[in-house]
Structure 1
Amino acid sequence: MNRLMRSTCLQVMVLACLSASLGVKADYVWLEPGRDGANAFLGLHDAAIKADIAVLNSSRAFVVDDKELALQKENNHFVIAPAEGDIRLTAQAVTQGEVLNFYQAKLGRSETKAVNDLELVPIASNGNTFKLVWKGSAVAASQVNVSTSEGWIRSLKPAEDGTVTLKTSFPGLYVLEVTARINGSTTYQGKKYEDVRHTATLSFEVPQ
């Protein structure tokens, strides 16, 4: 088997594994608009208490042209410097049970091209139909979880083409989340992890 064929087979294996979302709720990172830029939180959007974001490693905020944005920790969250266009944040953390987590968050739905390894992107700029992209290839999630600032919570099931469509029936902040376990182990900071998960969130505001 040549190198190209091996690479293709590996990609298929990874994509097959990514198509299954995890059933158990776990912490994720999401972004919200703030008074001066954006705020990044760790935990569950629908929970009253947020986790301490200081547990994250290699946290990095940036925009689509890879320009980095300043991060400042305040209490239990990060404050991200303001920028034009969609804002992204990536980070890693090892959680209970020796689980290696790769967190990827995005604020805004104007950009239709994925930048993070795992990213939910709108089919059309500022649209309500989204696809899940893993390293440049569209994949199907078994479900996408949605929570809003109004306390509305839903799980979206994909259509036959793998996309999910959300009805934004009322104003407020919407947070979409999907988590997938990666097939195989990964070495991170010199240690091998058998349980590796990628979590992607997409958050945006629907105005009054």
Structure 2
Amino acid sequence: MKKLLLAAAAMLIAAPAVAHEIWVEHDGKGPARIYLGEPNEAVPAQGDPEFPKLQKPQLVGSTGALTRRANHIEAAIPGTGDVRVRDDAVFAPWQAGDAKQGAIFYARAGRSETSHKLDLELVPVAANSDQFTLFFRGKPLADAKLSIITPDRWQKSFTTDAAGRITVPQLGAGRYLVSASHTETAPAKLSGQDVASVMHISTLTFVR
């Protein structure tokens, strides 16, 4: 029993802070702001303790200069379209049982576009709709668990329906954040290491 407890503790130590997510905030009037942390909590002025691990997030579908600030990374995005980010190097692969597992983070800000460009992405069924489809590699993902954080930091879990859809309830004005994750059991290479499975973690933010 003692050996089992020690092994479990070692796995917890090796795994990344899976509660952490990348998200983007963008009001369409200035630069986008890319964060790493726990979105249900206020971002510390000096950044989340894990923020230094966010080194080179990749903009997807847009270009812009990245500038590091105290608690976020600014992306000078031209125009008012949706902003997408991908990063597969935040946490190094970790041991999960007999094999290694890695994580890829995705983030999107805005709900004006009905197309998807990320491997795991929440997409509005119509521009500025409250109903979204969760896509994984271009296909709707049914029965997937999601978490919604409202402007007053109320948080609740939901599940996509058979068509991979979910409706975000209207609970006040401000920023909404929806997060989803999906574990893919397939060989891959992350940070130069072979992994047996990948955790895909995606967020969507929009303002009502």
| TM-score of the two chains, using structure 1 as the length reference | 0.78
Q: Matched residue pairs, number? A: 180
RMSD over aligned CA atoms reads 2.2
In structure 2, C-alpha distance between the alignment counterparts of 1:57 and 1:77, rounded to whole Å: 11
| TM-score of the two chains, using structure 2 as the length reference | 0.78
1:70 aligns with 2:49: no
In structure 1, C-alpha distance between the alignment counterparts of 2:168 and 2:150, rounded to whole Å: 12
Q: Mark the runs of 5 or more structure 2 residues left unpaired by the alignment.
A: 1-16, 96-100
Query: Greater shift after overlay, 123-132 or 183-192?
Result: 183-192
Equivalent positions of 1:58-137 (< 5 A) are 58-62=56-60, 66-83=61-78, 84-92=80-88, 93-95=90-92, 97-98=94-95, 99-137=101-139
Deviation at 1:96, TM superposition (A): 7.5
Q: Mark the runs of 5 or more structure 1 residues left unpaired by the alignment.
A: 1-23
Q: Quick one: structure 1 residues 67 and 96, their matched pair in 2 at CA, closer, same or farther if it must change by over 3 Å?
A: closer
Pick aligned residue for 2:24 from 14, 21, 31: 31
**Residue in 2 aligned with 1:150?**
152
DSSP 3-state at the match of 2:26: strand
Deviation at 1:117, TM superposition (A): 1.1
**Residue in 1 aligned with 2:200?**
198
How many percent identity over aligned positions? 26
In structure 1, C-alpha distance between the alignment counterparts of 2:140 and 2:163, rounded to whole Å: 10
Higher RCO (CA 8 Å, separation ≥ 6 residues): 1
Deviation at 1:75, TM superposition (A): 1.1
**Residue in 2 aligned with 1:17?**
none
Write out the 4+ residue segments of structure 1 that deviate beyond 4 Å after TM superposition. none
In structure 2, C-alpha distance between the alignment counterparts of 1:70 and 1:161, rounded to whole Å: 37
DSSP 3-state at the match of 1:69: coil
**Residue in 2 aligned with 1:53?**
51
Query: Greater shift after overlay, 191-200 or 100-109?
Result: 191-200
**Residue in 2 aligned with 1:180?**
182
